Amino acid sequence: MANPDPPPQPAPAAILQGAVQPRFGEVRIRQRGRLPHWEKESGLYFITFHLADSLPRPVLEKIMERHRILHAARQIDAHLLPSQEVMVERYSPAKIEEYFDRGAGMCSLRDPRIGELMANALRFWDGKRYRLVAWCVMPNHVHVICRLLPGEELAAVLQSWKSYTARMANGILSRSGTFWQRE
């Protein structure tokens, strides 16, 4: 008996473009730099944010190179070379999470004073701006699951967490400079 035909493959442009704008009007997609932000009124979010030094510089440079390659390929509707495919896979979101979990950088959130500062910041607006479902403070990053309350915006909530904790943590640690990674 002959093998059935393989399933149809999406067009290369569709593969490179990734997710497309939804047809329904509830979700807004904002571009704020490196990543698109999908937002929904009173949405439930899984959020991860990292300390500024949580990825080694060579890894950050490879990630930026990966983004440049994908952007250039999208612009001309091109296929990636095998070496480019390998690089894209090596710096996939799953692989990047593995780097974070290795605990690179100073891991300031491991300091009980800074970890508690972060936990308190998350709890401060619980019930007023959002409902916390779960959260976890790791040595060099934070995971949060929360539902925004009506009228609240994700960017404003994140900005309040990050700006407050950066200012306070830098004071506690007697240091200055960037505390959180962008996006």
Q: What is the pLDDT of residues 114-123, one digit of tens each?
A: 999 999 999 9
Region 104-129: mean pLDDT is 95
The rounded percent of the chain whose pLDDT value lies above 90 is: 43
For residue 34, the model assigns a pLDDT of 59
- The tens digit of pLDDT for each residue in 18-62 reads 555 555 557 777 776 656 767 788 889 999 999 998 877 777 777
Name the segment(s) of the chain with CATH classification 3.30.70.1290. Answer: 28-54+106-172
31 residue type, one letter:
Q
Phi, psi of 112 (to 5 degrees): -55, -35
Beta strands in 52-162 (DSSP E): 130-137, 141-148
Could you tell me which of 114, 140, 142, 159 has the C-alpha nearest to residue 51? Answer: 140
Residues 6+ apart with CB under 8 A from 162: 49, 179, 180
Q: How far apart are CA 4 and CA 76, in angstroms?
A: 33
Say if domain 28-54+106-172 classifies as CATH 3.40.605.10: no
